[in-house]
């Protein structure tokens, strides 16, 4: 048996269907989020001592990329506070649907933007300014606040969670990487859906709201777009929705042929390698160029960054998709094959983040005792001097992650290549080459 | 089936060999080396130093703008210097490999990324990891039945 | 609306107000003194008020790099002010007046400009409160009393061929005719060259070579100070002077190039300003320059600074003793005090 239905257990099902546990988590996250915004604005401007930087770019990032995404897919989206104020306003309620729905515009998201290109762009923008963002508490706060306000504004204009689905820079990569996770939400039996009247999973009912992610649950075959908000679990009158435990990367067995997702894979792969070089390498001139936004050297750096992502990485990969007499269009071959880069990208980010987090994790201790930089010492750890955490384990862990990701990618490549009738060998060699470069950058 | 099992065993054995076989160490006689490293926001100059295993390494840290530190990963040795007061750190490079050294005194925005590299002998860890990666790919090519192929995935994993 | 919904909304509102209000509340109620590098504003606030005899509790934090806090013209041990961390200092001033506080760990080219004042006195009578400034009593530096010109060059007309050795001088100092030179009143008001000239004109030393007389001068200079004073001067030099003047006093400290550039850059439009040799920090091993300067002259340069260069004024910072110790140490560059 390769899928275990978790919602068969009445305790689990009850906890997931009940709005209170979810709301409690939501409010806790929102409080933390708002506190982080405040701390970034009024606490110390020293990045590594500021609660906002430490808890967003070190603690939250570590949990996201090392735990939430690989093991829970879009699990972070399930508890993320960003859409909440807008959504409560949009819905006119914080719990069950109200009798009278508020009359917001609820426009349909424009068709030509129904893809992840906007998310690719928003992530790239963040990535280009990342050295500045990662070290500047005020800028971090501004970005956090901006996301909150944009999500709110979009909820007033458009239906459902348009920010989350089409704009959020985090959602872009969490979505495609969630295909690797061992958790999924799916309908149990599509035949039941065929005879269902009203389709409340998509349109809402008195027990819950229609899918905020604009997903039609019977059509849900991959984790990419499902944000695990569990509304469909509440609205389905036929108890036909299940949350399952399943083998890792089951979704990659049916590779996607979308170009926007293909480029997202390159964006993530490229940025992991670039960050490993800039942030963890000994090349001061590049760090300077990346940090001093607006200077001539920064434009050079930005150009190089974009060149890696849009030229240096995809062009050799395009050669992997060659095949004479192949009946599949080139675009389909390229995009399908690029699915192999998803496990690779995830392992690259995990390996990079391990180094980043273990070297800087000690700051969490100091920050938790004095979150506002006012001289508090709540847990007695405020004046702890920096120390590296578990760095002796770092190299083996990174090797494991990278080699494991390589094997996983090779496996995915074989599968994807089979779908479009090309040889997987060039793609596997490409993954090997990328892995060797990443090993050299990190170890 | 049997061939597959033998293949897997061979693969595992080669993997262990790659990870654990002692590499022939080209051991030149250890000597005392001194390096002057200038530290300025946010880089070291020189940012990479090479020594042989067993060398007695002395680093003279010269801060050129604000107070900087130098902490060597893996050795745990560190020193701090004010501008105008060169600080000296001495240790024996008994562990071979490639180690980052970083600033351990908050020195401004990019402080967490102020990093240099100390190479003690050859970076065996990197070589072994690269070997493992190559071996993994070789394994995938040579043992096609090691991992199930495309179509059968869809059968196994269902709708 | 259902009661559950109302209760939930209230709870959410309370949580949000708590999340936003708590940090704001504590932030507004915790006055901190922020230290930033001088280029970004230095100490803020930089004027503090205190009452005589009442403890002044200060909470300091750095907004960028490592700084340190001390009050000038005292023997106070400086207290580190670290980025993102808060340091508590309590000061008590017995006498009213204006005190200078300053940063004691180099934090950039303009580190020495990081200063502020503490006004101790009856609040109504401080300048900050609008009272007319009253001239406090200042120790008049010796160079002022002597009417020395500390801005003009003071090259020694004669220099030794080899670095004069105090130990060799000690061997030569047989009779009491040197003891009159081992006296603060003589030492502070005469340059080594002037001492050399007097010794040269003394009949009992007519048999000695010029170099030997210089060795005697070196011995005399060393005898006018003690090992403790030299150690104190050495420490003061390392902490305050070496960053510009170099750890070996030769003038090429880590900030020397920036100082030269700063001096030249500001003069770019002046004709004939290309030859701004004096913009580089002084080389204390330069015998011509040092042996023509009396301790009073050197002390004056240290206390007043300027001279058309980037030399800071240390008057509000060093006590008299501290400045004399430093001056004594400076002579250990042209003279050889230890074998």
List pLDDT tens digits, range C138-147.
779 999 999 9
pLDDT at A324: 72
pLDDT at A390: 87
SS3 A274: helix
Task: Count interface pairs A-C at CB distance under 8 A.
Answer: 86
Q: Residue C89: pLDDT band by 50, 70, 90 thresholds?
A: very high
Domain boundaries, chain A: 18-164, 253-442
pLDDT at B117: 96
For residue C205, pLDDT beyond 80: yes
Contacts of residues A275-278 at CB distance under 8 Å and 24 or more positions apart, as own/partner, are A275/A130, A275/A352, A276/A348, A276/A351, A276/A352, A276/A355, A276/A438, A276/A441, A276/A442, A277/A441, A278/A131, A278/B113
Q: Residue C18: pLDDT band by 50, 70, 90 thresholds?
A: very high
Domain boundaries, chain B: 32-124
pLDDT at B155: 45
pLDDT at B12: 83
For chain A, list the contacting chains (3+ Cβ pairs, <8 Å): B, C
The first and second tokens of residue A298, run together, are: 């920064």
- The alpha-helical segments, DSSP class H, found in C130-209 are 142-146, 166-172, 184-189, 192-200
Q: Do C66 and B67 touch (CB under 8 A)?
A: yes
Which of A192, A221, A231, A252 minimizes the C-alpha distance to A93?
A: A231
For residue B157, pLDDT beyond 70: no
From A253, A280, A291, residue closest to B110, measured CB to CB: A291
From residue A50, give the alpha-carbon distance in Å to each of A65, A278, B104.
21, 22, 16
pLDDT at A326: 78
Mutate to test the interface with A, among B69, B153, B158 (most CBs of A within 10 A): B153
- Residues in chain A within 8 Å Cβ distance of C26: 372, 374
pLDDT at C338: 85
For residue A293, pLDDT beyond 50: yes
Instruction: Determine contact: B66 vs chain C, CB below 8 A.
Output: yes
Mean pLDDT of B110-128: 94
Higher per-residue confidence, B4 vs A254: A254
Q: What is the CATH number of domain B32-124?
A: 2.60.40.420
pLDDT at B8: 80
User: pLDDT tens digits, residue range C159-191?
Assistant: 999 999 999 999 888 766 788 899 999 999 999
Distance CA C89, CA C69 (A): 9
pLDDT at B154: 43
pLDDT at C125: 59
Question: Which domains, and CATH codes, for chain C?
Answer: 30-127 (2.60.40.420), 142-330 (no CATH)
Minimum distance, in Å, between the CA of residue B48 and any CA atom of chain A: 7
From residue B57, give the alpha-carbon distance in Å to each of B49, B52, B76, B117.
10, 10, 14, 14
Distance CA C203, CA C184 (A): 24
Mean pLDDT of C86-115: 94
Q: Do A443 and B154 touch (CB under 8 A)?
A: no
Could you give phi then psi for residue C284, rounded to 5 degrees? -75, -10
User: pLDDT tens digits, residue range A157-166?
Assistant: 999 999 999 9
For residue B146, pLDDT beyond 60: no
Mean pLDDT of C282-311: 94
pLDDT at B159: 40
For residue C124, pLDDT beyond 70: no
Higher per-residue confidence, C75 vs A119: A119
Could you give phi then psi for residue B48, rounded to 5 degrees? -130, 130
For residue C76, pLDDT beyond 80: yes
Element (H, E) at B69: strand B68-72
Mean pLDDT of A129-142: 95
User: pLDDT tens digits, residue range B67-78?
Assistant: 999 999 999 999
Weakest-pLDDT range from A281-285, A292-296, B16-20: B16-20
For residue A331, pLDDT beyond 70: yes
Mean pLDDT of C217-239: 95
- Residues in chain C within 8 Å Cβ distance of A32: 19
Mutate to test the interface with A, among B103, B135, B137, B142 (most CBs of A within 10 A): B137
Minimum distance, in Å, between the CA of residue B108 and any CA atom of chain A: 7
CA atoms lying within 13 Å on the CB side of residue C59:
11
For residue C135, pLDDT beyond 70: no
For the whole model, what pTM was predicted?
0.91
Instruction: Determine contact: B85 vs chain C, CB below 8 A.
Output: yes
């Amino acid at each position: 048996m390769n899928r275990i239905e978790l919602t068969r257990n009445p305790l689990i099902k009850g906890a997931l269907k009940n709005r209170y546990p979810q709301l409690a988590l939501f409010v806790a996250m929102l409080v933390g989020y708002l506190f982080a915004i405040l701390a970034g604005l009024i606490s110390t401007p020293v990045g590594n001592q500021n609660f906002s930087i430490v808890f967003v770019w070190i603690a939250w990032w570590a949990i996201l990329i090392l735990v939430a995404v690989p093991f829970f897919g879009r699990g972070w989206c399930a508890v993320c506070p960003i859409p909440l104020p807008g959504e409560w306003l949009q819905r006119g309620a914080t719990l069950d649907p109200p009798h009278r729905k508020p009359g917001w515009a609820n426009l349909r998201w424009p068709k030509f933007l129904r893809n992840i290109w906007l998310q690719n762009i928003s992530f790239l923008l963040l990535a280009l300014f990342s050295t500045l963002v990662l070290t500047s508490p005020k800028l971090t706060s501004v970005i956090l606040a901006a996301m909150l306000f944009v999500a709110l504004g979009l909820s007033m204009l458009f239906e459902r969670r348009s920010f989350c689905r089409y704009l959020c820079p985090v959602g872009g990569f969490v979505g495609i990487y969630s295909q690797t996770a061992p958790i999924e939400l799916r309908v149990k039996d599509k035949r039941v859906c065929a005879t269902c009247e009203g389709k409340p999973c998509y349109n809402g009912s008195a027990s819950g709201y229609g899918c905020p992610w604009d997903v039609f649950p019977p059509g849900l075959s991959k984790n990419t777009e499902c944000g695990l908000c569990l509304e469909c679990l509440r609205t389905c009158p036929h108890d036909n929705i299940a949350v399952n435990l399943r083998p890792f990367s089951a979704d990659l067995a049916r590779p996607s042929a979308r170009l926007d997702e293909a480029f997202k894979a390159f964006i993530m792969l490229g940025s992991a390698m670039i960050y490993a070089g800039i942030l963890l390498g000994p090349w001061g001139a590049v760090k300077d160029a990346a940090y001093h936004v607006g200077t001539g050297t920064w434009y050079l750096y930005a150009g190089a960054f974009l060149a890696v992502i849009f030229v240096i990485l995809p062009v050799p990969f395009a050669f992997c998709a060659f095949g004479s007499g192949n009946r599949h269009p080139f675009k389909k071959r390229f995009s399908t094959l690029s699915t192999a880069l998803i496990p690779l990208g995830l392992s690259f980010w995990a390996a990079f983040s391990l180094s980043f987090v273990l070297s800087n994790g000690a700051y969490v201790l100091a920050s938790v005792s004095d979150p506002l930089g006012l001289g508090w010492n709540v847990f007695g750890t405020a004046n702890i001097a920096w120390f590296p955490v578990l760095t002796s384990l770092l190299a083996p862990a990174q090797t494991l992650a990278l080699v494991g990701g390589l094997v996983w990618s090779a496996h995915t490549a074989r599968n994807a290549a089979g779908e479009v009738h090309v040889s997987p060998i060039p793609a596997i060699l490409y993954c090997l080459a990328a892995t060797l470069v990443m090993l050299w950058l990190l170890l | 089936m049997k061939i597959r099992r033998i293949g897997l065993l061979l693969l595992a054995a080669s993997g262990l060999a790659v990870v654990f076989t002692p590499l022939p160490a080209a051991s030149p006689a250890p000597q005392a080396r001194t390096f002057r490293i200038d530290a300025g926001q946010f880089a070291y100059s020189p940012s990479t130093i090479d020594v042989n295993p067993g060398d007695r390494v002395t680093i003279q840290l010269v801060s050129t703008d604000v107070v900087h530190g130098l902490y060597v990963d893996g050795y745990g040795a560190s020193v701090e210097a004010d501008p105008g007061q060169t600080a000296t750190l001495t240790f024996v490079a008994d562990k071979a490999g490639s180690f980052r050294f970083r600033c351990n005194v908050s020195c401004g925005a990019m402080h967490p990324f102020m990093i240099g590299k100390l190479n003690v002998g050859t970076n065996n860890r990197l070589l072994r990891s690269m070997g493992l990666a190559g071996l993994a790919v070789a394994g995938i090519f040579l043992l096609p039945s090691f991992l199930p192929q495309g179509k059968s995935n869809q059968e196994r994993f269902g709708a | 609306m259902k009661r559950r919904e109302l209760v939930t909304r209230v709870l959410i509102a309370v949580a949000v107000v708590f999340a936003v209000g708590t940090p704001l509340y504590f932030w507004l109620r915790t006055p901190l003194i922020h230290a930033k590098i001088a280029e970004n504003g230095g100490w803020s606030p930089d004027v503090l008020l205190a009452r005589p005899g009442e403890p002044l509790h200060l909470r300091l934090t750095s907004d960028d790099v490592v700084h340190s806090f001390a009050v000038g013209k005292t023997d106070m041990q400086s207290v580190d002010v670290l980025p993102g961390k808060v340091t508590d200092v309590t000061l008590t001033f017995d006498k009213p007046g204006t005190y200078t506080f300053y940063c004691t760990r180099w934090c950039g080219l303009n580190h020495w400009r990081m200063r502020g004042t503490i006004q101790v006195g009856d609040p109504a009578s401080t300048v900050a409160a609008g009272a007319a400034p009253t001239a406090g009593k200042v120790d008049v530096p010796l160079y002022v009393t002597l009417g020395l010109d500390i801005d003009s060059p003071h090259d020694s007309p004669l220099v030794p061929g080899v670095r004069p050795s105090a130990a060799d001088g000690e061997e030569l100092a047989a009779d009491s005719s040197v003891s009159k030179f081992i006296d603060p009143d003589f030492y502070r008001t005469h340059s080594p060259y002037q001492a050399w000239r007097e010794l040269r004109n003394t009949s009992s030393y007519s048999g000695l070579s010029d170099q030997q007389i210089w060795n005697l001068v070196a011995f005399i200079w060393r005898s006018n100070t003690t090992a403790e004073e030299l150690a104190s001067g050495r420490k003061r030099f390392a902490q305050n002077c070496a960053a510009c003047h170099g750890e070996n006093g030769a003038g090429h400290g880590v900030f020397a190039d920036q100082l030269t550039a700063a001096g030249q850059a500001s003069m770019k439009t002046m004709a004939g300003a290309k030859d701004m040799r004096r913009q580089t920090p002084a080389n204390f091993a330069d015998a011509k320059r040092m042996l023509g300067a009396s301790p009073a002259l050197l002390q004056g340069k240290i206390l007043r600074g300027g001279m058309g260069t980037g030399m800071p004024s240390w008057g509000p910072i060093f006590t008299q003793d501290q400045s004399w110790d430093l001056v004594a140490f400076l002579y250990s560059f042209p003279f050889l005090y230890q074998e």
